[in-house]
Structure 1
Amino acid sequence: MNRQQRTKLYEFQTRAFIEGNVESINDQWVFFDVETDEASLLDEFLHQEMEVFRFNRWKKGILFENGKISFGDEIIFLKNQDQVRIRKPLIYSLDKLLEEISDDAFYHFISNLNTLKFSIFDCLYCYNQLEFLENQERKNGVNFMIFDNQEEICNVQHHFSYFEGKSDRFEFTLNNGKRLVIEKYLKK
């Protein structure tokens, strides 16, 4: 699995975006989150990727000052009540953990999480023990993650042992008592 394939899995995650409408108020662009009705200045998202709904499809670009969005060679300006969505950032420790694990473990972790109706963007907390073992030859430990999809909570324990082989064991436990355990082992 290459970087592009991993990126595709990220792109198809549910709840990966904050969606809302924009409006120009007192010469400032304001973003209104449709889910929470909270308002925030669009300037908070400057130079980040954003999508605008135009001509019955989402167009991906980079937000610049004064409501200007660059789509490669094309530049458009926001209009009042434009529908926009902004990709949520992943929790830093989860992002680093996903970079560290093998492609096979990555795929199985994400696909099983999705099967349980959770997205990596539902992560509330991630403790990444691997970050503290960066320079060690033998790496053993447990990472902890908590996910909330607004209907259920999922706790994930990632037991790992990286030395002569790579062992990744994911234990998913939902608040309703449902459990799922997957294990991947790669020999060196």
Structure 2
Amino acid sequence: MERTEEKKQTKETGTVMKRKQLFSEKNKWGRGTLMIEDGICLVENDEGDILLADSLGNADVLMKRGGRWQPARICGGAAEIGTDTIPLLGGEEIRYEKAVKRPLLTLLDSLDDETFLLFLSHLHGFGLSVYDCVFSYNQALFSSEGVSFYHFSADEAQCALQHHRGSSGKHDRFEWTASDGRRSIMYSAARQDGTA
């Protein structure tokens, strides 16, 4: 019983470390411009994609007001900034906290600490961060074996990742291919049972 509790505590400590590491990643913030179309508040992000302001959910939002970025909450056609509620006209600049795609987050949570840090190091080597993930498919959500696919994209960098799961989650292989032709293969540092 004591051994099980110790394993659980170690896993929770690892998860906290991973979350702190992800919180400090670059490209965590997206930029956008608000648009009002037929009374609906939309955000046009830096890539030119249009999303509903409501789709930002509980993400932190900053709005430029008086030349300063201030915490804001968008509610329909208005923004709450401090104690003020101001009507949105369109054209307002915002910054919003990006989310890590859930299938990618599930993969990251499943990695041992050493492999997790190695994964981030590889990704940073391509000039990217976990917040640059634009497509994620995690086969492990459906089967214990198979291949998962991820695509990362930023202004200057593109990278595709194939994650080949070994039998029983052991000996995972990560194949990275960048748009500039660079390739890299990475193996998990430890087996899922904690042995090397």
> TM (normalized to structure 2)?
0.66
Corresponding residue of 1:167: 171
C-alpha distance in 1, partners of 2:68/2:16? 22
Matched AA of 1:125: F
Are 1:46 and 1:65, in contact at CA under 8 Å, matched by a contact in 2? no
Matched-pair identity in %: 24
Q: 1:77 aligns with which of 85, 99, 121?
A: 85
| 1:147 maps onto 2:152 in alignment | yes
Corresponding residue of 1:136: none
Corresponding residue of 2:62: 51
Per the TM alignment, residue 144 of structure 1 is displaced from its structure 2 partner at its CA by: 2.1
The structure in which a higher percent of residues are helix is: 2
> In structure 2, do the counterparts of structure 1 residues 95 and 61 end up closer, same or farther at CA, with 3 Å as the change threshold?
farther
Q: 1:105 aligns with which of 109, 112, 115?
A: 115
Matched AA of 2:178: L
Per the TM alignment, residue 130 of structure 1 is displaced from its structure 2 partner at its CA by: 1.2
C-alpha distance in 1, partners of 2:126/2:103? 22
Are 1:47 and 1:63, in contact at CA under 8 Å, matched by a contact in 2? no
> After superposition, what is the alpha-carbon deviation per residue over 1:138-170, rounded to whole angstroms, capped at 9, x for unaligned?
x4443222222243432212233364x843332
Per the TM alignment, residue 178 of structure 1 is displaced from its structure 2 partner at its CA by: 1.5
> After superposition, what is the alpha-carbon deviation per residue over 1:90-141, rounded to whole angstroms, capped at 9, x for unaligned?
33322322222223222221222012102223223322121123xxxxx444
Gaps of 5+ in 2: 1-12
Corresponding residue of 2:141: 131
| 1:5 maps onto 2:17 in alignment | yes
> In structure 2, do the counterparts of structure 1 residues 86 and 166 end up closer, same or farther at CA, with 3 Å as the change threshold?
same
| 1:176 maps onto 2:180 in alignment | yes
> In structure 2, do the counterparts of structure 1 residues 35 and 180 end up closer, same or farther at CA, with 3 Å as the change threshold?
closer
Corresponding residue of 1:117: 127
Task: Please report the RMSD computed on the Cα atoms of aligned residues, expressed in angstroms.
Answer: 3.6
C-alpha distance in 2, partners of 1:117/1:26? 39
Are 2:41 and 2:76, in contact at CA under 8 Å, matched by a contact in 1? no
Q: 2:161 aligns with which of 128, 150, 156?
A: 156
C-alpha distance in 2, partners of 1:126/1:27? 32
The structure in which a higher percent of residues are strand is: 1
SS of aligned partner of 2:128:
coil
> In structure 2, do the counterparts of structure 1 residues 23 and 105 end up closer, same or farther at CA, with 3 Å as the change threshold?
same
